[in-house]
Structure 1
Amino acid sequence: MSLFKPTAEVPQFVFEFKYWEGEATTILMAYDVREIQRVIRYRPFCDPNLPASILQTRDERIVERFLLALATPREAAFVAQLSQNEKVNEIIRRSRASATFVPWDWIPSLQCSELDSQAIATEINARSHHQFGRIPFEEWVRYSLGFRVIAVEWFLQQHTNLYNHLLNYLTASRDEIEKYVEVEKVCFTKVFTKIFKQANSLSYSFFKARARSLIEL
């Protein structure tokens, strides 16, 4: 279950004509390797296989020249022995920004009960900012243009994980609910408001249902 809908969390721009998709194809068919590299990195197109499919149809000498421009002089012999497909794959690999995904690593526990709401909020904010900072700016731009971006989906999923941790913890430790209501006030961003309101609401509902069942016994 995901608390967030990737298509709804960040405002997206709507364009009737996405001219940049046609421009991307034009650049991939041209001869400026730096422009090609930027198009591959920023991916202003829907088809993830577009760069490979276009580059594989181009003259082998041109593709080799592109790769040599991205390689070091010492790699010339290595480039020469690659097949056309391998050269294309190497161009794409060297043009894309690498992304590493770090799981959410803060979990509420009884040890946190010794911390006040401000300290807990600081811990959570630090983890969230760390997650946010790992997403390149161009990925947010791409996401805002309506493309699916795995890094943004991962970011939202990690905050869903926080929600699940909080819900489980507050369900088991009802005396902590008031403190986390205060944490919500300190973590004033939209993401955390959604997390805490949902977790606190479900926790209260759980306790009401449990109390009702005890009364009926």
Structure 2
Amino acid sequence: MSRSAAESAHPPVSVLLCDDHDVVRAGLLALLSSAPGIEVIGEAGNGAEAVALAAALRPDVVLMDLRLGSGVDGVEATRRIARADAPGTSPRVLVLTDYDTDADIARAFAAGAAGHLLKAEPPEELFAAIRAAAAGRSSLAAPVAHHVLAQMRSPRPTLTDRELTILGRLARGLSIREIARALSTSEVTIKADLARIYDKLGVSGRTAAVSVARDQRLLP
């Protein structure tokens, strides 16, 4: 049986798109419409909408961006979708993003993502990853796989989401007072958080912390 005949013998892989940029979703819709055996059945512009549509439409695969502006981000949406039902019955979530930091990769897989691709990947890689996800297999973009292997060989410090948030604001030049105000907490609490961050990174100050975090791909 030819490949085209084999594909026509099975229902298409149903896909739900989630990206907060209309232009990106339109581009993905046009791209996936050209892929044999793949059908886009819905679009979501934010994480909460993706969770609701995944429950209503029951797609085989959810193509999920990580950064979705305010509200439910891609990681939390992935977690809710992947754990909505018994193992093996939830839609498979395939992360498609511009970001490949170790922190993003780790958070996505911890949330239950079936794969992690970069938006710069060739269309054929995306098509193959969607089909693989629907078949229960995982997919990794080559740069992402490299980072995962490097992490396994030389584990990096594990920072909590809160610590990563504080470190990110530190990297943007915010003072302790500004970080405390942004997170609705006290300066004493932020200083304690920073002490733990410095200890985990093996540094003694903010400049070195930001430098090490960037070297170890903990920050975008």
Higher helix share: 1
> Which TM-score applies when normalising by structure 1?
0.26
Structure of greater relative contact order (alpha carbons < 8 Å, 6+ residues apart)? 1
> Which TM-score applies when normalising by structure 2?
0.26
* Higher alpha-carbon Rg: 1
